[in-house]
Amino acid sequence: MDPYAIIAYTMGIALDFTFGDPRNMPHIVRAIGFMINKGESIVTSLIGRSVFSGILLWIGVIAFSVICYLLLSHLFFTVDPWLKVVFDALVIFQCIAFKDLVKHVRAVKQALNKSITKARKRVSWISGRDTE
């Protein structure tokens, strides 16, 4: 395996375990969620709501995300391979969010002991879907 990749993975995981998921910084997953919301309204207004439109949206969001990553990754690598390592570490850090996921799942479990309504509220911290 590429030693740069091993360093990036290690850094990304270490950042996640150290900081969790900081709410006050630009975030890849939030940007993708924004793309999905905007894309869904565009796709459904053009061709309606269907499995086909959902697949089209999914392919579009994935393709756009991968292309952006590849372009930025190539740009950073061209400037300096260590910039790509830092970029990859930040991408990994933001995409795994393991520390916060564990924290939120524990909060759901605790809320379930009180009421289903409180548990649904806690699930809404994890999922962008309507939890009602």
pLDDT of residue 125: 75
Lowest mean pLDDT among 23-27, 34-38, 115-119: 23-27
Angle at 18 between CA 106 and CA 131, to 5 degrees: 30
Asked if residue 86 has pLDDT above 90, the reply is yes
SS (H, E, C) 38-76: HHHHHHHHHHCCCHHHHHHHHHHHHHHHHHHHHHHHHHH
Asked if residue 25 has pLDDT above 90, the reply is no
Global pTM? Answer: 0.78
